[in-house]
Amino acid sequence: MRYKKLSPFPPHFLWSGSTSAYQVEGAWNDDGKGPSVIDVGNHTKPGIADFTVCVDHYHRMEDDVALFAEMGLTAYRFSIAWTRIIPDGDGEINQAGIDFYHRLIDALIAHHIEPIVTMYHFDLPAALDAKGGWENRATVAAFERYARILFSEYGNKVKYWLTINEQNMMILVGEAIGTVKPGSPKSALYQANHHMMLAQAKAMILCHEMLLNAKIGPAPNIGLVYPATSKPEDVLAADDVNSIRNWFYVDAAARGIYNSVAWRYLEEIGAVPSIEDGDMDILAAARPDFIAFNYYTSLTVAEPLPEGQPIPGSSDQQLFAGEENVFLGKNNPYLPRTDFGWEMDPVGFRNTFRALWDRYHLPLLVTENGLGAYDSLEADGAVHDPYRINYLRDHIEQIQLALTDGVEVLGYSPWSAIDLISTHQGISKRYGFIFVNRGEEDLRDLARYKKDSFFWYQKVIHTNGADLS
Ligand code: BG6
């Protein structure tokens, strides 16, 4: 529908920016921090920045928060590294780690920036992984204990909590992200998935028991799946992939049930998890206050190739090549692509808002959306990134259209508040409003520079979304 008049952004809309601990902090083994699966898995890739130093946010946190405040952020979404709080995941508590996040949260609050905390963003403690990781049911109890520590430490300062970042991507493309060992069988992945669902449900229940005013929700990556044509078989494939990629995760979090199409898929591939008595009651008892979601693009699919015919492969996080008997991934001819080959679909953002709202009727919080691009620092310290401004503007316009559609949107947290290390494509794939002077392996001086997008977003926030020019 085209509207003659658009609804304005609500007065307390959260204009935010996102990061995650392992991609921004560095200090990977400072002050008692234990190693995570990311630290263990990625230290050895030549030519691509590792996660040891990142952009050294751990040591420059106060200055970075001051820059976020100057940009005008009214919220900041970051993750807590489980391995700073409990270095081995389920043992001793590390006071230095607890203190760091107190300092960060206090600095945000001092600048009137609302903290939005992700409890777990890809960086499972390596010690838990060595004991079976999420496949091991004991990790559910470890996460619940970790959640209890976070709520009791920070619960009087933090209102918005996110349980698990992109659980669906960890299950579907975990190898590319580095959270899953190559060749992990699907049965193991979906057992891990069930345990993560339980852990998330327990954390949501605990949050509501312990913190009366807090709000908590899941943070999957949700992008609507389109059929490549109006051929009914393509429409069916899109419906299947929507269930397997998107609704499976949100249905479990928001309705406490396993999506029936996704469940049939698990039966077909021999990956039905074992579920103990009472597990489904726990999922049913947990209710999120909102749904947070990360959106980068939509996905387009066609009916699957005939059985036995090989699927052309892709390992990239956003590019789902296809799956035998389920679907074949297609390029969408209507969508331009980023430097890194990701399709850009702002209208798909609105489509995704509408689908989520129709299905769940819960407030929506965008916890990631952004453009990974090569930026260059000019001699005068400027970074001209009109391509990023265009991308963000196009998406913010669609938020306003979604608001006009009647969708309740709490806020927008683009990826990323500051440059950081991509999941598997280093520092060259930059997302931030703030440029950090480092190369893949050359750390240079790690100085911060405000990009053109910094000043643009500052104006957007200042006008509460009224001026996107
Ligand atoms: C999301 C993740 O998948 O996308 C982030 O939550 C990630 O951690 C972001 O960095 C962008 O992906 P990438 O692969 O370009 O870093």
Could you report the per-residue pLDDT of 53-95, keeping only the tens digit for each? 999 999 999 999 999 999 999 999 999 999 999 999 999 999 9
Residue in 415, 416, 427 to alter for ligand 1 test, most ligand atoms within 8 A of Cβ: 415
Angle at 319 between CA 317 and CA 323, to 5 degrees: 110
pLDDT computed for residue 397 by the predictor: 98
Domain count, the chain: 1
Asked whether 122 and 170 are in contact (CB, 8 A), the reply is: yes
Buried/exposed 420-429: b ≥16 CB within 10 Å, e otherwise: bbbbbbbbbb
- Confidence band for 176, pLDDT divided at 50, 70 and 90: confident
pLDDT computed for residue 45 by the predictor: 76
Residue in 320, 338, 368 to alter for ligand 1 test, most ligand atoms within 8 A of Cβ: 368
Q: Provide CB contacts within 8 A for 199, sequence distance 6+.
A: 134, 139, 140, 143, 144, 163, 164
Residue 255 CA, ligand 1 centroid: distance in Å:
27
Q: Which atom of ligand 1 is nearest to the CA of 415?
A: 9
Q: Provide CB contacts within 8 A for 245, sequence distance 6+.
A: 168, 172, 225, 299, 320
pLDDT computed for residue 318 by the predictor: 56
- Confidence band for 181, pLDDT divided at 50, 70 and 90: confident
pLDDT computed for residue 182 by the predictor: 86
Q: Is position 368 annotated as part of the catalytic site? A: yes
Q: Which atom of ligand 1 is nearest to the CA of 169?
A: 3
Q: Is residue 467 situated within a structural domain?
A: no
Q: Is residue 142 situated within a structural domain?
A: yes
Residue 317 CA, ligand 1 centroid: distance in Å:
8
Q: Which atom of ligand 1 is nearest to the CA of 420?
A: 10
Q: Is residue 7 situated within a structural domain?
A: no
Q: Provide CB contacts within 8 A for 281, sequence distance 6+.
A: none
What digits encode the pLDDT tens for the residues 209-245?
999 999 999 999 999 999 999 999 999 999 999 999 9
Q: Is residue 252 situated within a structural domain?
A: yes
Q: What is the mean pLDDT of the chain?
A: 96
What is the pLDDT averaged over residues 88-104? 98
pLDDT computed for residue 175 by the predictor: 87
- Confidence band for 116, pLDDT divided at 50, 70 and 90: very high
Q: Is position 267 annotated as part of the catalytic site? A: no
Q: Is residue 178 situated within a structural domain?
A: yes
Angle at 48 between CA 427 and CA 223, to 5 degrees: 60
Pairing of strands 299-302, 160-165: unpaired
- Confidence band for 315, pLDDT divided at 50, 70 and 90: low
The residue written with tokens 């991509």 in the block is 422
Asked if pLDDT for residue 393 goes beyond 90, the answer is yes
Protein residue whose Cα sits closest to atom 14 of ligand 1: 423
Asked if pLDDT for residue 467 goes beyond 60, the answer is yes
Residue 40 CA, ligand 1 centroid: distance in Å:
19
Residue 120 CA, ligand 1 centroid: distance in Å:
14
Q: Is residue 434 situated within a structural domain?
A: yes
Residue in 51, 123, 317 to alter for ligand 1 test, most ligand atoms within 8 A of Cβ: 317
Q: Which atom of ligand 1 is nearest to the CA of 165?
A: 6
Pairing of strands 75-79, 160-165: unpaired
CA distance 22 to 127: 16
Q: Is residue 380 situated within a structural domain?
A: yes
Residue 152 CB neighbours (<10 A): 11
pLDDT computed for residue 44 by the predictor: 63
CATH number of the CATH domain containing 421: 3.20.20.80
Q: Which of 135, 153, 343, 368 is catalytic?
A: 368
Q: Is residue 3 situated within a structural domain?
A: no
Residue 422 CA, ligand 1 centroid: distance in Å:
6
What digits encode the pLDDT tens for the residues 10-58?
999 999 999 999 999 999 999 999 999 999 986 567 899 999 999 999 9
Bridge partner list, 76: 115
Helix (H) or strand (E) holding 401: helix 386-405
pLDDT computed for residue 310 by the predictor: 85
3-state SS assignment for residue 175? helix
Q: Which of 25, 153, 166, 343 is catalytic?
A: 166
Q: Which atom of ligand 1 is nearest to the CA of 422?
A: 16
pLDDT computed for residue 285 by the predictor: 98
Residue 242 CA, ligand 1 centroid: distance in Å:
20
Ligand 1: residues with CB < 6 A are 20, 23, 165-166, 169, 221, 294, 317, 368, 372, 415, 422-425, 429
pLDDT computed for residue 316 by the predictor: 62
Q: Provide CB contacts within 8 A for 279, sequence distance 6+.
A: 194, 198
pTM, rounded to two decimals: 0.97
pLDDT computed for residue 308 by the predictor: 86
The residue written with tokens 């908590």 in the block is 216
Residue 43 CA, ligand 1 centroid: distance in Å:
18
Boundaries of domain holding 119: 14-462
Residue 27 CB neighbours (<10 A): 18
CA distance 114 to 18: 12
- Confidence band for 345, pLDDT divided at 50, 70 and 90: very high
What is the pLDDT averaged over residues 409-428? 97
pLDDT computed for residue 406 by the predictor: 98
pLDDT computed for residue 177 by the predictor: 87
Residue 23 CA, ligand 1 centroid: distance in Å:
9
Q: Which atom of ligand 1 is nearest to the CA of 122?
A: 8
Protein residue whose Cα sits closest to atom 8 of ligand 1: 423
CA distance 300 to 226: 5
pLDDT computed for residue 313 by the predictor: 73
Protein residue whose Cα sits closest to atom 16 of ligand 1: 422
Choice among 176-180, 259-263, 435-439 with the minimum mean pLDDT: 176-180
Protein residue whose Cα sits closest to atom 11 of ligand 1: 422
Q: Provide CB contacts within 8 A for 446, sequence distance 6+.
A: 53, 55, 56, 60, 436, 437, 438
